Amino acid sequence: MYHVVTRNPADDEQTIDEEQTIDEGDSASSKKERVLHTRVPAVLERELKRLAEGLRVPVSNLVRAMLEDAVSVADAAGENVEQRLKTFAKGLEEERDRLKKRVQRDPLADVFAFQSVKLALPATCAKCETKLERGTHANLGLTDKPRPGASRIFVCDACLPTDEEAT
């Protein structure tokens, strides 16, 4: 059983209609979110949990991204959403990279500056996940938004955005 929280902007009505919807009803619905209760096969549940752990995001965020993705792809292809979700569940591993981008967005999105630093502790590149050894050169991404889970952002030289990418 999953508690799937979806945003409910007007153009997402289609999403809501595809699933059994339980509107929380009370005045708290001003949050414009609804809780969907749905059953998933045990195999899919394990896959979802594993994938969510791997991406370090809550399962509900992952499921939301999957649903949004499934609906937009199904729309584009004139496919039915259920079919798309089944295909999706099968290809979960292949979808992983695309999902990861979608769920995590750009890890450098909030960075306003990079500072060249020498690492005193080992770190990991926020982009390519290369291990950055202690004593080596890295680039510290400065941000003023608190980031859940990863408070510091380092990138290797190869992943340092160029001027073209920064705009």
Interacting residues of 124 by C-beta distance below 8 A, sequence separation 6+:
130, 131, 132, 154
Of 8 and 130, which has the nearer Cβ to Zn ion?
130
Q: Is 123 in the site for Zn ion (CB under 5 A)?
A: no
Q: Is 52 in the site for Zn ion (CB under 5 A)?
A: no
Q: Is 125 in the site for Zn ion (CB under 5 A)?
A: yes
Measured in residues, the chain has a length of 167
Of 63 and 141, which has the nearer Cβ to Zn ion?
141
Q: Is 153 in the site for Zn ion (CB under 5 A)?
A: no
Q: Is 156 in the site for Zn ion (CB under 5 A)?
A: yes
Of 52 and 125, which has the nearer Cβ to Zn ion?
125
CB of 138 to Zn ion, least distance (A): 9
- Burial (0-12, 13-18, 19+ Cβ within 10 Å), 16: middle
- Following CA atoms 10, 48, 50, 56 in sequence, which dihedral angle do they give, to the nearest 10 degrees? 10
Q: Is 133 in the site for Zn ion (CB under 5 A)?
A: no
What backbone torsions phi and psi does residue 12 show, to the nearest 5 degrees? -100, 5
Helix (H) or strand (E) holding 35: strand 33-38
Cα–Cα distance for residue pair 8/125, rounded to 1 Å:
35
Q: Is 108 in the site for Zn ion (CB under 5 A)?
A: no
Q: CB–CB of 38/2 below 8 Å?
A: yes
Selection from 19, 47, 49, 24 nearest residue 34 by Cα:
24
Q: Is 111 in the site for Zn ion (CB under 5 A)?
A: no
By CB under 5 A, name the one of 51, 65, 127, 153 that touches Zn ion: 127
Of 31 and 56, which has the nearer Cβ to Zn ion?
56
By CB under 5 A, name the one of 128, 142, 150, 166 that touches Zn ion: 128
Of 49 and 131, which has the nearer Cβ to Zn ion?
131
Interface with Zn ion (CB under 5 A): 125, 127-128, 130, 156, 159
